[in-house]
Amino acid sequence: MKSYRAELIRFVNRSSAAMILLCVGATLFSMSNAGPQHQTPLWGFRQMSILTATLLMGRAAVLASGDFSSGTIRAWLISRPNRAEVFSGKLAASLSFAVITSAATSLSCYALSGTMGAVPSVGAMLVAAGQLAFAAGVLTFFGHAAGVLTRSIPVALTLTLVWILPAEKGLQGHSGGLDAWLPGNVTQDITRNQLQHGMTPLGAALHAALPFIVLDAVALALFLRRDVNS
């Protein structure tokens, strides 16, 4: 808990505020462009959700790998001798920020949706907001794992962005079975509320989250065993 609280305090800065404003502004822009495409503001919100989650994934990757690049991980390990606590505290703090950003984006965009078209029902907006928060959490797991495993900001960002953007896009369409197992692809389906034929919401959530949770478990196992200088 101490590592978690310390990380949350560390997040209270202008860069975190700028990230939240960027997510809100980009989503509002997407919602405002929905009208000319003969779509509702909620459609624009959904279209932007996976990109918002991708931004939060990149942030998690930078934070996790940055401590190794800057050497501040040593100070964390000295102050918190339990390595598992350091790892889980950082992950929990990044997940909390992802949820907070998702909530702030959803509330702001719902409040302003009436200026851009039909106001979505409360129920529909809650579903979309929950799906955004889920996607943000799932991709935060990926970003955090990549940061801990690579210990390099450029490598972690390249790995996460290349997989979520071009790599999965290139693999899509070759096999229905493969498409169902691409976690980024399934996560995007969830945010758009358009699941593949025959897939249940629970099945989609498991397909999206489980690979990245397992990757984080691998990162934790290596973090517990490897020296910070290795």
d(CA 108, CA 151): 35
Q: What is the pLDDT of residues 137-160, one digit of tens each?
A: 999 999 999 999 999 999 999 999
The reported pTM is 0.90
Q: What is the pLDDT of residues 15-53, one digit of tens each?
A: 999 999 999 999 999 999 998 999 999 999 999 999 999
Long-range CB contacts (< 8 A, 24+ apart) of 27-36? 27/52, 27/105, 27/109, 28/108, 28/109, 28/112, 28/116, 31/109, 31/112, 31/113, 31/116, 31/117, 32/116, 34/116, 34/117, 35/116, 35/117
Region 87-104: mean pLDDT is: 94
Output the pLDDT for position 78.
66
